[in-house]
């Protein structure tokens, strides 16, 4: 069953917590669950850590807990240490009936730093193979608890470009799955339709993030940081006329592959400039329309 969700970073950013700091938590949940009508929401720094308190809070607004980001440090830690670190996260997910754990290697990432994206870390073929083997070991552990590890390719990290994605997917499997993020794929130099079609068999989570091409070009030309891009509005939602990504062929690919997971709008931008209620409503209506058009709704 296809379910549509959102991420609270549209209202209150996790990396730069000054963005949306004035927005009450209750407003975020009321808009997402009651006014817009999302089925669920991902994790954010405003939510309680206690698994039952989290479930109860979201449920009071008609929202399910979808999953949440876990920062991996496998390039610095052992598999054993990483398993120990991720276990409390898995406990929270299991209590809330989640089926995926979103992970990304952040030990040497520049995504939250005031450093140009051009300085992001790069792994050679040998290092990627070794890294992939460690991720696969953690993924096998997660699978043993009934949760798929979905790796989030992300700007500023060791898995950013389409070539990185190909190499990473080749270095992992069968337990490691992919969180496909349309925006990060396009920002990272990939064609989302091509990359998704190539790896859709291992996609277990989908982030519907759009990109404003003019702002992306300025970030690259001026050698700016990832957070410079976020603050200046490089990301937006499906359906925004300023966005460069056509989501219809992407949902068609999901329909063809009988995808039956979450489709989540993860589109961080300054809420003082881009009203979350308006943009998230536009994004959800666009996705629902395209899902019906492509036959994705009802796929199993």
DSSP string, 23-76: S-HHHHHIIIIIII--SEE---TTS-SSHHHHHHHHHTTT-EE---EEEE-TTT
The two tokens of residue 165 are 């994605």
Cα separation, 134 vs 80, in Å, equals 10
Pairing of strands 69-72, 235-236: unpaired
Q: What confidence score (pLDDT) does residue 298 get?
A: 64
Residues 6+ apart with CB under 8 A from 43: 8, 65, 67, 68, 69
All domains in the chain, ordered by first residue? 3-294 (3.20.20.150)
β-pair partners for 70? 103
The two tokens of residue 18 are 């000054």
Q: What is the pTM of this model?
A: 0.97
Cα angle value 75/179/154 (rounded, 5°): 55
The rounded percent of the chain whose pLDDT value lies above 70 is 99
Residues 6+ apart with CB under 8 A from 123: 131, 158, 164, 167
Q: Kindly report the average pLDDT of the chain as a whole number.
A: 97
Tens digits of residue pLDDT in 78-91 = 999 999 999 999 99
On whether the CB atoms of residues 198 and 192 are closer than 8 A, the answer is no
Q: What confidence score (pLDDT) does residue 109 get?
A: 97
On whether the CB atoms of residues 195 and 180 are closer than 8 A, the answer is yes
Tens digits of residue pLDDT in 227-285 = 999 999 999 999 999 999 999 999 999 999 999 999 999 999 999 999 999 999 999 99
Cα separation, 290 vs 271, in Å, equals 25
């Amino acid at each position: 069953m296809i379910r549509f969700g959102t991420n609270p970073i549209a209202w209150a950013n996790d990396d730069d917590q000054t963005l949306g700091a004035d927005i009450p938590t209750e407003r975020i949940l009321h808009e997402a669950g009651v006014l817009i009508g999302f089925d669920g929401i991902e994790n954010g720094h405003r939510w309680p850590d206690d698994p039952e308190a989290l479930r109860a809070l979201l449920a009071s607004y008609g929202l399910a807990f979808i999953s949440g980001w876990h920062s991996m440090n496998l390039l610095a830690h052992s598999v054993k240490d990483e398993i120990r670190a991720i276990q409390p996260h898995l406990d929270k997910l299991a209590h809330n009936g989640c089926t995926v754990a979103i992970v990304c290697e952040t030990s040497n990432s520049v995504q939250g730093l005031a450093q140009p994206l051009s300085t992001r870390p790069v792994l050679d073929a040998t290092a990627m193979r070794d890294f992939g083997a460690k991720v696969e070991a953690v993924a096998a552990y997660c699978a043993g608890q009934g949760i798929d590890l979905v790796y989030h390719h992300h700007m500023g990290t060791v898995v950013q470009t389409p070539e990185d994605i190909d190499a990473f997917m080749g270095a992992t499997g069968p337990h490691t799955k992919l969180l496909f993020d349309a925006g990060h794929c396009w920002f990272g130099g990939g064609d989302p339709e091509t990359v998704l079609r190539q790896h859709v068999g291992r996609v277990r989570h989908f982030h519907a993030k759009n990109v404003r091409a003019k702002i992306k070009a300025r970030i690259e030309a001026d050698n700016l940081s990832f957070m410079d891009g976020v603050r200046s509005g490089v990301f937006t939602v499906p359906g925004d006329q300023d966005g460069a990504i056509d989501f219809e062929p992407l949902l068609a690919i999901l329909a063809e592959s009988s995808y039956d997971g979450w489709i989540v709008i993860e589109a961080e931008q300054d809420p003082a400039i881009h009203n979350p209620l308006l943009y998230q409503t536009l994004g959800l209506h666009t996705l629902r329309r395209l899902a019906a058009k492509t036959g994705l709704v009802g796929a199993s």
